[in-house]
């Protein structure tokens, strides 16, 4: 069995020029410390230094160089202190969250550098991959390659993007080992879904069907992955009384029936008239806050309660099958909004349009 290199040993390898682990990459964080050390002295790093950081796989996968650089300069340059104070006063929830995060990074950088070398990646990754398999076909995590893990500093967040799992170093430290394992399992679940047998050929990004398909798929993949970590994450967020995340989460879930009724109207309209389908699909996506997490998780929990884990696993490569299960689960409950026959017929039509035809040999 292939042994995963611990982070402490990884840093020893890096310092001696030996081969880097293909699974764990801290190079972006190393560049971050070089950049911020200069900024704190009111010295602007060279463009070559900025480019070197943003060419690291972690930052490159995020595809948000301009905004991340702006936030880093705002927080770490002493000459921008007044600009930072003004930005914090006018910033919305997400931007303010990222700025406050970087301020804490600045205050705790020595602790973070120590943590960077002490984190036990072996234990965390092994446990996370086992947990990720909970809502995947048996053997998926063993038959397919493990996800590369890129550590960066940008926001209190973790993401699966560009074939990589991206973790903010401070976020990793803050949430603690137990929640870190669950969060990594969530992102690994996204990673492994890419290896499931294809039954649907998604519409292209330019297709008028893309936004509504993306909405359905996002509700499914985030909702199911949230079964692995979100209850614990919400408990963690409740410790931060200044955070608006829990409020947004709870509000979105409380409006589930209302949102589904609106989605029903949108799907019914699309079934009658495809004019403006792209714009309507975009409205549908924006109707579900926090990237569809709360409402998708509501759907997954309802399905789990009535049909169990195996039923969810069978739908993981088909968002239309997931919606059928949700429709049936709602019919069992007395107070859930049930999508209309017209809406379900339209989803069935979309499914047939994009289904991959399997030819028998």
Return d(Cα 360, Cα 337) in angstroms, integer: 40
- Scored b (16 or more CB within 10 A) or e, 80-119 reads beeebeebeeeeeeeebbbbebbeebeeebeebeeebeeb
- Position 15 scores a pLDDT of 32
Return d(Cα 115, Cα 269) in angstroms, integer: 53
Average pLDDT over residues 41-50: 97
Q: 3-state DSSP call for residue 291?
A: helix
- Position 326 scores a pLDDT of 98
- CB-CB contact of 260 with 215 (8 Å): no
User: How far separated are the first and last CA of the chain, in Å rounded?
Assistant: 36
- Position 45 scores a pLDDT of 97
Per residue in 260-279, pLDDT tens? 999 999 999 999 988 899 99
Is 55 a residue whose pLDDT tops 70? Answer: yes
Residues near 121 by beta carbon (within 8 Å), at least 6 away in sequence: 4, 5, 6, 7, 10, 24, 149
Per residue in 160-204, pLDDT tens? 998 899 999 999 999 999 999 999 999 999 999 999 999 999 999
The model's pTM: 0.88
Residue reference for tokens 């600045």: 106
Return d(Cα 312, Cα 325) in angstroms, integer: 8
Which helix (H) or strand (E) segment holds residue 167: the answer is strand 164-168
pLDDT category at 17 given cuts 50, 70, 90 is: very low
- CB-CB contact of 166 with 286 (8 Å): no
Q: 3-state DSSP call for residue 98?
A: helix
Return d(Cα 179, Cα 24) in angstroms, integer: 19
Domain range annotation of the chain:
1-196, 210-354
- CB-CB contact of 198 with 317 (8 Å): yes
Structure tokens at 277: 């389908």
């Amino acid at each position: 069995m292939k042994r995963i290199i611990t982070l402490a040993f990884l840093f020893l390898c890096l310092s001696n020029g030996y081969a880097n682990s293909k699974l764990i990459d801290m190079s972006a964080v190393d560049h971050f410390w070089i950049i911020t050390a200069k900024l704190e002295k009111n010295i602007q790093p060279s463009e070559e230094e900025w480019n070197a950081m943003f060419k690291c796989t972690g930052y490159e996968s995020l595809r948000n160089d301009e905004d991340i650089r702006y936030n880093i300069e705002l927080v770490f340059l002493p000459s921008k202190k007044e600009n930072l104070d003004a930005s914090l006063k006018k910033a919305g929830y997400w931007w303010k969250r990222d700025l406050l995060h970087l301020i804490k990074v600045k205050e705790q950088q020595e602790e973070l550098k120590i943590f960077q070398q002490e984190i036990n990646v072996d234990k965390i990754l092994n446990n996370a991959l086992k947990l990720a398999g909970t809502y995947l076909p048996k053997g998926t995590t063993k038959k397919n390659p493990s996800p590369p893990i890129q550590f960066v500093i940008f926001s209190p967040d973790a993401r699966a993007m560009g074939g990589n799992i991206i973790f903010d170093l401070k976020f990793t430290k803050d949430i603690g080992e137990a929640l870190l394992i669950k969060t990594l399992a969530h992102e690994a679940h996204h990673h492994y879904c890419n290896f499931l047998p294809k039954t649907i050929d998604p519409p292209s990004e330019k297709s008028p069907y893309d936004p509504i398909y993306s909405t359905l798929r996002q509700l499914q993949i985030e909702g199911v992955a949230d079964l692995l970590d979100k209850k614990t994450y919400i408990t963690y967020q409740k410790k931060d009384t200044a955070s608006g995340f829990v409020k947004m989460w709870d509000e979105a879930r409380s409006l589930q029936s209302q949102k589904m009724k609106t989605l029903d109207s949108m799907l019914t309209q699309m079934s009658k008239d495809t004019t403006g389908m792209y714009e309507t699909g975009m409205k549908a996506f924006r109707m579900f806050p926090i990237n569809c997490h709360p409402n998708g998780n509501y759907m997954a929990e309802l399905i789990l309660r009535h049909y169990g884990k195996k039923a969810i696993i069978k739908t993981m490569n088909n968002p239309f099958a997931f919606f059928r299960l949700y429709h049936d689960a709602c019919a069992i409950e007395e107070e859930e909004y049930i999508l209309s026959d017209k809406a379900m017929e339209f989803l069935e039509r979309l499914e047939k349009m994009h289904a991959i035809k399997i030819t028998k040999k």
